Structure 1
Amino acid sequence: MTSNHPASAPTTTTAIPRVGSSASHGKTILIGEHAVVYGAPALVLPVTDVRVTATASPLSAGAEPTLESTVHTGPLGSAPAAVLPTVTAVTATLRHLAQTGHPDAGALPLHVLVDSQVPTARGMGSSAAVAAAVTAAVADVFGVALDTDTHHELIQECERVAHGRPSGLDARGVVATEPVWFAAGVIEPVQVTGRFVFVVADTGVPGHTREAVAAVRNRHDRAPAMVDSVVERIGGLARAARGTLVDGDAQGLGATMDAAHELLTTLDVSSGDLDRLVGAARGADALGAKLTGGGRGGCVLTLAADDEHAARIATALRTAGATATWTTSIGARA
């Protein structure tokens, strides 16, 4: 969970503000990137081993609120545009608290410390993960456990500052403990049978999501039948992948991942760096490998048979040029 308190717990209060803390994690798209823009379903995978932690400490009355992070350390009021979503996480949460039983919250200065392992511009939900941790930490200052819907809307407010019109997938994925299914505007968790082990590898090249989305849109304008056919096939793979998670079929999931990468390649959203890492993973006998996220940079997602196999895949990926790798798992921790 994101907060130190269950998201569904009732709101509680303390008389005196305390040091608040919380954590969240990254996410990645298992199947469905780009196709989801055209109405196809998508599966989002929580990357629980890549974490964000946030601490919010009350300051003396009249002190200037401050932020401490790798992007900006200093007064909250003079933070650069790059951290405006984080500033929004603080101010929006304090505003919510002031409106819901904590009238002094709006005037309380805080020092917010953010420690994020989630890389930016890699399709791993960095801004949403930071927002999730910070909003919950600020609420925790007052002993408040944000309910699921309130927490989601606060994260979305930050995401609108970061991305304009977020789908909500990142906001759900960075607080989930199991895969999330998104279809026709409905978001629901997916039950998993067995254990699935994944390796995420960073090409070292920032993803170019807007560029890739625009390129697919232009291609759709020129050849709608072709793009619609690819979208339909990716949607079918997403449905098949959901079934493999429910059934505990790692081999079947790997096959859908491989097929999804080939379809995304036909949409011209892969790159030489992504294809090289996908090839290295397959050379290490990965059960499946694909680009994840917007593409044209960013990360690849690979599926391993077990932890030992994941270590071999990670080594092969780093040898092939990955600047970082992360191993994460979902399902039973046998």
Structure 2
Amino acid sequence: MSAQQLSADRSGRTAGTTSGSGVAHGKTILLGEHAVVHGSPAIAVPLPRLAARADVRLDAPAATLTTSLYTGPLAAAPDRLAPTLTALRTTLTALRPDDAADLEATAALHVTSDVPHERGLGSSAAVAAAVVRAVADALGVTLEADDLHELVQTSERVAHGAPSGLDARSVVADGPLWFHRGEARLLPVGADGVLVVADTGVAGGTRAAVAGVRALRDADPAAGRALDRLGALVAVGRDALAAGDLGAVGAAMDEAHAHLAALTVSSPELDRLTAAARAAGALGAKLTGGGRGGCAVALCADAATAAAVADAYAAAGATGVWTSPLSPTTADQPTSPTGSTPTA
């Protein structure tokens, strides 16, 4: 749906300018990164304990932006915050096309986020979704899921060029998500499990990694076969999740990491963290996201094993460790992040 169509459909539901807030969360890719760029499915899991929050006032004395990276006039925000500003402007244009410019001139936007930046956990999408929701809330609009997705995707294109749409869907999902060619649906999970995510401390390079894998696939048939197998492992993981066979999910994760390493998107730090997780009892471990830095994710059968894996991650050099249920409940959904992590 275009912005013009969206505004036409919503014009009867908007209200006067006021304040609003919105929340979204991080995500981890359980299976399917890189293959999803080439048309295969992927499974993503929300990380509700890593939250992004946006608060906006649309009748403020001046247009300002407040984040941990920058505080000052909206018009002077640095280029790295362009996705955040795009989320604000695109949503205003979509919902209030006749006075979007006037509203932007008096918009005070405050963004906080616990989702680490450039780590493959959906930071830019989470912030964008929170901003879109905040603006919609301020205008008295309830967005449909597809409308929210389109607005977040506009911001994601500024951040990443040609995103698959996985992040935009998963940062607002309530549970594990099957994503394929732009469509998403919640997956049944037949057993409890715990995910442990670890930060290498090295910024990931999603654009470069995606471009590198594409070039490798074009030059080497073995790379194409690795991508095909990565896509097949997503179906294995889906069926195993439904059956409650977490051991099979873990085995698929281990194999996926090996294929991703062959595609040159792992790193010594990621290999060290995944090995440490397996040695501490994880059912499986792999890089998550674009790779070449960023984060690793491990699947554990229970909280005790997750605690041991978290300790092993720290001993192996992780700069940040987070645990999250494989299948979050309502109580796990974000309400207010601490705002300790840079936003973008």
- Alpha-carbon distance, 1:120 to partner: 1.1
Q: Given residue 31 of structure 2, which amino acid in structure 1 is its aligned partner?
A: I
When structure 1 is superposed on structure 2, of 318-327 and 193-202 the one drifting more is: 193-202
Is residue 220 from structure 1 mapped to residue 217 from structure 2 by the alignment? Answer: yes
Task: Give the Cα separation in 1 of the matches to 2:328 and 2:72.
Answer: 43
Task: Give the Cα separation in 2 of the matches to 1:80 and 1:252.
Answer: 45
| Correspondent of 1:311 among 307, 312, 327 | 307
Q: Name the SS for the 2:326 alignment partner.
A: strand
Contact 1:12/1:145 (<8 A) preserved:
no
Q: Given residue 57 of structure 2, which amino acid in structure 1 is its aligned partner?
A: S
- Alpha-carbon distance, 1:307 to partner: 1.8
Contact 1:178/1:192 (<8 A) preserved:
no
Task: Give the Cα separation in 1 of the matches to 2:288 and 2:264.
Answer: 14
- Alpha-carbon distance, 1:16 to partner: 4.4
Q: Which residue of the partner structure matches residue 76 of structure 2? A: 78
Structure 1 residue runs without a partner (length 5+)? 1-9
| Correspondent of 2:93 among 92, 95, 98 | 95
Q: Which residue of the partner structure matches residue 51 of structure 1? A: 51
Q: Given residue 151 of structure 2, which amino acid in structure 1 is its aligned partner?
A: L
Q: Which residue of the partner structure matches residue 7 of structure 1? A: none
* Residue correspondence of structure 1 range 188-267 to structure 2 within 5 A: 188-224=185-221, 226-267=222-263
Is residue 154 from structure 1 mapped to residue 151 from structure 2 by the alignment? Answer: yes
**1:15-42 per-position Cα deviation (integer Å, ceiling 9, x unaligned):** 5433211100011211111222333221
Is residue 288 from structure 1 mapped to residue 246 from structure 2 by the alignment? Answer: no
Task: Give the Cα separation in 1 of the matches to 2:211 and 2:15.
Answer: 51
Q: Which residue of the partner structure matches residue 4 of structure 1? A: none
Q: Which residue of the partner structure matches residue 41 of structure 2? A: 41
**1:86-126 per-position Cα deviation (integer Å, ceiling 9, x unaligned):** 11111111112214xxx555423121110111111111111
Structure 2 residue runs without a partner (length 5+)? 1-9, 332-344
**Which structure is higher in RCO with an 8 Å CA cutoff and minimum separation 6?**
2
Task: Give the Cα separation in 2 of the matches to 1:49 and 1:282.
Answer: 23
Q: Given residue 225 of structure 2, which amino acid in structure 1 is its aligned partner?
A: S
Is residue 122 from structure 1 mapped to residue 119 from structure 2 by the alignment? Answer: yes
Q: Which residue of the partner structure matches residue 113 of structure 1? A: 110
- Alpha-carbon distance, 1:210 to partner: 2.5
* Residue correspondence of structure 1 range 137-148 to structure 2 within 5 A: 137-148=134-145
| Correspondent of 2:272 among 256, 271, 276 | 276
**TM-score of the aligned structures, taking structure 2 as reference length:** 0.87
Task: Give the Cα separation in 1 of the matches to 2:64 and 2:199.
Answer: 31
| Distance verdict in 2 for CA 1:15–1:168, change over 3 Å | closer
- Alpha-carbon distance, 1:228 to partner: 2.1
| Distance verdict in 2 for CA 1:15–1:26, change over 3 Å | closer
- Alpha-carbon distance, 1:70 to partner: 1.1
Aligned residues: 319
Q: Which residue of the partner structure matches residue 178 of structure 1? A: 175
Contact 1:208/1:294 (<8 A) preserved:
yes
Task: Give the Cα separation in 2 of the matches to 1:39 and 1:90.
Answer: 30
Task: Give the Cα separation in 1 of the matches to 2:14 and 2:183.
Answer: 36
